[in-house]
Each structure stands twice: as structure tokens, then as C-alpha cells.
Structure 1
């Protein structure tokens, strides 16, 4: 177990608001934003004791494999990181991966899918599909999760793989960006997501592609084919409305979907599970669902 700090809520909220912002749509160019996030991610509290991280290549796509102790062999978790399709990396998510691995008892894979603007759609989806197919072939079964843009990518991946031997058995989505046709207006209560950054990132990722394509906006896909799905979202997030639409549409299509609203937590607070107990609790909920 790692030592969890459980700092006061206002302190952690302030830290998140000030520290994360330069790497999420700040004035820095994309490469500098990515590097900043990796530096910040590397300064997080120590990972759980017994954490092992190794570089892997699955389906021709690089990534990280994170384990704690001896994981179950015939099952795994694949988690797709967030970052509006323009920033983020497995290195930023190493601690999240370690916490998932500790709680689920499984190996957690973090794909390093290609990012915009260097690589537009469908590069990220192609990478996610290739990676998941390779994990399925190697482990027999796996569950899939993702947050923010990675959540939308996870949903699109699950829809593409539905009915195949490489389909995930469960899908865990944290504030997924499932509709790129609409970038919500600003919300002062959301301390992470900036609408201007979202609009720019969507343009960089989609280019001239049709944003109603389910590979870009999975809310427009056949949601009846989803595996059992958990959606967690903060009450004050700008993405909450589209997450609710996604859940309603999935339920109406007959999918097994569970919706959990987090009343006090911010966008992808799971990344701060080592700082505040509320974030750790929702991470446990996600992990138990995936396991």
C-alpha cells in the first residue's frame, strides 16, 4: 500500500486548479504542455509497494505495463489516458495505473496512442484497437477503461470491437468525452476543463472528418453493443450533460449501464487518489467494477 495523504478538500482542489492548468490548454505549445504534465505526474506520491513498470509494445503500439505483486494471468485492464487527444501519456498515468493494478489484482496496460495535431483521427482509434486486440490475444480477456478524451476513445474502441474475440468484458468511463460535435460552454465550477481548449483540441484531432462518426463521437454509435458499463462524472463538470445523454441513450438501447455522479470531485479526480480520500473511494469503485 502507498501512504495516502488525505489532505483537506479545499487544499487539494486549489492545488489541482493551479498546478494542472499550464499543461491543459495553457499558453505553452503542445510539446511543452506534454512535458510539463509528465514532470507534474512524476512528482506524485510514491506508487504502491511492489509496483513494477515496464515498457511494452502491443500490436505495434508502445505503452506501459504496470503491476503490483503477482497479477492474475488470464485477465488484464487497459486504460486509455485523457488529455483532449493532444496531451497526456502513460507516464503521466503511471500512479493511476499502479493503483488500478493494486486494487484489481491485474496487470494494467497504458497505451501510448498517437496524439493530435501531429496525428489526426483515426490514428488514436487505430492504436487503441491494435493494442486491445493484442492484449486480448495475450491474456484471454480484459476490461477497458478511460477518462475524458480517453473515455470517449475507450467507448469508441468498445463499439468497434463489439462481437469480436477482442471485445472487452467491461467498460469503465470517467467523465468521457463522447460527443465532439458540441463543446460545452464555460463553467466556473469546473477547475480543469477549459472550453476554448476543448474547441481547439477537437479541431486539431478531427480535422475535416465528420464529428458524427461514432469513432469520434461514440454517442452516435449502436450503444446496444456495449459491454456492462460504468460512467462516473463530477456534478459540476462541463462534460456532465453529454455523459448523462450517453447514459440515457445507452440504457434506452438496452445496454447494461450504471451512472455515478460525484458531488464534490472535479474532472478525473482519480488522478489525485493519493491526496484525498474521496478520490480514492471513486477509484476503488471503478477498480472493483473492472475486476
Structure 2
């Protein structure tokens, strides 16, 4: 690997394990092969659901979904989780234990959805699936915290922007984990971390082109929104060694400038997709604990 890299031995070991399943040049392979690699990687880092969390697959409206319920529910808010994967890979299974652990740690029911993927379904398919799921939860009278990592963070932020624009009520929080929000691919962390381990700027460009969202659409690229005023209380988590880092920094800064209740945390030794390293890396473990705390706080703002 070239360019700036972490010093934490455990996160470097994590990346070496990832490279054994999902090579750095994976985007040069077919989408079908990329999905096989990603599924194998996810299975290798799956510790199993924690005891006491029930999970049930059932549709949310017309959208495939998995409902997680911890043994002790301590809030009436529901977390709607959108998984990462560049809009190209990922599923209910890829983030299963992440979602189960978040439900357990926050004491909140969590719903994950299986949105449509590119290139079979380009923009706005994934977003519209997220909107349909959100609308179904709100129609049930639920208070919702939107959450997601990477591409899922993009979708969560876009849903919050559209809901704000349309005067939709019921969204009580927003949590974004190393989100891609439409930043300039030629500057900032996209230049500094262009060859970062786990995700390169070239990879980001590939995923954007495959997803084919309009560059100027503020729902597809929330950093392009004219104003972020009126968004719900938000937690933003960035990874230091990630081309997407400055998307998170800029979004959090703009939220603060707009008067939104925002908490920002940058993991100093982390790379993109560190969620999977939460059981082997001290830095990832600390980042995940902070995520649970902040997500739980948002779920109790009802």
C-alpha cells in the first residue's frame, strides 16, 4: 500500500485479512465476482448475533427487511439502517451482526432493508427503496433514527434532506458512519488518501459512475444541498485514513454552522469499513462503542 497508512497493528492485520478475500483491484472484476468476494469477506468477520436479540425477516411495505429486537427495549424510536457497499454489494446478511449489536447496545428496535443494487438498478432505485421503507415506518407512527455506513450513510443523509424539504415529520436522528456525500474527487482527502487501504479514490469514482446519480442532485449528493438547516440531530463518524473522510468533516461542519445539533468523531487510526474490525482492533472497538452511545442518545430524543 502507498500513501499515508495507520500505525495500529491490529487494523493493518485486519486489512491484510480483507485483502485475502477482496483484493485491492476488486473493481476490475465483474460485479458478480465482487459480490462473491464481499459475501465471503463478510462471512469471515461474522461473530454471530449476540444472545437475546431476536431477528425476523419480513417485508416493510414492498421492501425486503430484517427486524431486530433486543431483549430489553428502552426507547420507542426505531433505527432504520442502510448498509454500505458502494450501492453495488451488500445485503441483509452482510451487516447482520453489526445491526444486531447496534440493536442490543442501544436498546432500540432496528430495521435493516435490502435495497436494490447497481448496476442492475441505478439511481434512484436504492434511494426510493429507502424512502418507501422510511415512509412505511412513519405511517406506523414510529419515531425513526436514520443510520448507515458508507453508501448507506449517503442514503440516510439523502433521506433526511428529502424529508426536510417535504416537511415530513418523525425523523428524530441521523447517524452517518464514514459516509460518501458527494465531495470533490480531486481535492482534500480524495487527493491525500487516494491510495488508502481498503478504499481508493478510484474505487469511489467507479461506484459513483456505476450508481449514476446526477452530480448536482442534493438528495443524491447531500453536500450539494444549498442548506442543511432543519436536519435532525446528527452523529457523524469519519475514518482518518479514508478518501471519504472530508465528506464527513465538511458535512458535520455545515450542520454545526446551520445550527443543527451535531456530534462529530474522527477515528485517528481507522480506515474505511472499520466496522468489521470492531472485535479485533482497539481503535475500531472504541469507535463502535462511541457509535452505540451516540445512536442510543439519538434514539432517546423522542
One fold, TM greater than 0.5? yes
Aligned to 1:3: none
2:255 aligned to which of 250, 254, 275: 250
Comparing 249-258 and 222-231, the one that deviates more: 249-258
How many pairs were matched up? 281
Q: Deviations over 1:20-62 (max 9, x none)?
A: 447x844432123223322332232222112332212113111
CA contact (8 A) 1:175 1:234 kept: yes
Aligned to 2:6: none
User: How far 1:89 moved relative to its partner?
Assistant: 1.3
User: How far 1:8 moved relative to its partner?
Assistant: 4.0
Rate the CA distance shift 1:129–1:226 in 2: closer, same or farther, 3 A.
same
1:53 aligned to which of 52, 55, 58: 55
| Separation in structure 1 between the aligned mates of residue 47 and residue 279 of structure 2, nearest angstrom | 7
Please tell me whether residue 205 in structure 1 is matched to residue 206 in structure 2. no
- TM-score scaled to structure 2, two decimals? 0.85
Q: Deviations over 1:67-89 (max 9, x none)?
A: 33243573211111111111111
Specify the SS of the correspondent of 2:64.
Answer: strand
Aligned to 1:215: 219
CA contact (8 A) 1:178 1:242 kept: yes
1:225 aligned to which of 209, 212, 230: 230
Rate the CA distance shift 1:117–1:234 in 2: closer, same or farther, 3 A.
same
Q: Deviations over 1:131-177 (max 9, x none)?
A: 01212333621211111111111100011112313x42111111110
Q: Deviations over 1:152-203 (max 9, x none)?
A: 11100011112313x4211111111001663634737621112222212211
- TM-score scaled to structure 1, two decimals? 0.88
| Separation in structure 2 between the aligned mates of residue 164 and residue 86 of structure 1, nearest angstrom | 29
Rate the CA distance shift 1:246–1:210 in 2: closer, same or farther, 3 A.
same
Comparing 142-151 and 185-194, the one that deviates more: 185-194
Alignment RMSD, CA only?
Answer: 2.3
Aligned to 1:277: 282
Aligned to 2:180: 177
Comparing 254-263 and 72-81, the one that deviates more: 72-81
Comparing 156-165 and 277-286, the one that deviates more: 277-286
Please tell me whether residue 38 in structure 1 is matched to residue 42 in structure 2. no
Comparing 267-276 and 146-155, the one that deviates more: 267-276
